[in-house]
Amino acid sequence: MSAGPGLESLVDQTISVITNDGRNIVGVLKGFDQATNIILDESHERVYSTKEGVQQLVLGLYIIRGDNISVVGELDEDLDSNLDLKSLRAHPLKPVIH
């Protein structure tokens, strides 16, 4: 059972988390457990809107409860530095409806 899709390979890497309420939080993965609870360091939230570019809100050290996590993505630093967040406009993601 241990060879599953754990998050081991992402520890100390920058990740992008999508939460069940549709938020997008970017930070460095410091720890995680069986329930996908995660510890994020140096984190910030990226707030999407259709009126203005992406806003970045500094959050700092965060623990996110696994129940509230949808997706954990490995952030590709090259791709991310080429993104022009100021001109990116989109609706915020919808919340998860179970």
Partner 1 sequence: MLFFSYFKDLVGREVTVELKNDLAIRGTLHSVDQYLNIKLENTRVVDQDKYPHMLSVRNCFIRGSVVRYVQLPPEGVDVELLHDATRREARGG
Residue ranges binding partner 1 (CB under 8 A): 1, 3-7, 10, 16, 18, 20, 22, 24, 36, 46, 48, 66-67, 69-76, 79-80, 83, 88, 90-91, 93-98
- Is the torsion defined by CA of 62, 65, 66, 69 positive or negative? negative
In the complex, the smallest distance separating the C-beta of residue 89 from partner 1, rounded to whole angstroms, is: 8
2 versus 58: smaller Cβ distance to partner 1: 2
50 versus 58: smaller Cβ distance to partner 1: 50
Q: What whole-number distance in Å separates Cα of residue 7 and Cα of residue 47?
A: 25
Q: What whole-number distance in Å separates Cα of residue 94 and Cα of residue 79?
A: 24
Best CA proximity match to 39, nearest among 29, 49, 48: 29
In the complex, the smallest distance separating the C-beta of residue 42 from partner 1, rounded to whole angstroms, is: 17
